[in-house]
Amino acid sequence: MTPPDKPIQSVAKGDRGLREQRKQKNRGLTITQQVTVTRTDRTTDGQQLRGTYGFIPNPHRNPAYNKDQQGFYLAAYEAASRDVTDAAHRYSLVQPELLEFDFAGVTYRAEKWLIGQGSRSKWRVDGPEEPG
């Protein structure tokens, strides 16, 4: 597929997907974010961004994680997808080395996971960000 050649006017979030990963010592999370991209010529296209993150420190050592795993993963998703609609951040998921969020009094950072060919990351929207 050829990337769109029209500049991006805006990006809107759609459905999200969260899938826990268990292939390494610490659990991780694969985030998928559906987006609708509006181009400067008013055409739209749908894309899916995806990234897989591992967390430091290990959330299993936090009793609050064991009581509210859904809350932990939602906090991770909110942190990872905060820049999807922001032109200044190139309409992208937050890169693992920049992801940081708080949950139940603990600050978590992310690391990139290498989990196989079936989970390739696509961090940002395709196409030029600026007119011209």
pLDDT in tens, 87-114: 887 888 888 888 999 999 999 998 876 5
Q: With 0-12 CB in 10 A as exposed, 13-18 as middle and 19+ as buried, what is 95?
A: middle
Residue 125 and residue 39 in contact, taking contact as beta carbons nearer than 8 Å: no
User: What are the tens digits of pLDDT across the range 40-76?
Assistant: 888 898 988 888 888 889 888 899 998 999 999 899 9
Question: Does residue 70 sit in helix, strand or coil?
Answer: helix
> Is the pTM higher than 0.85?
no
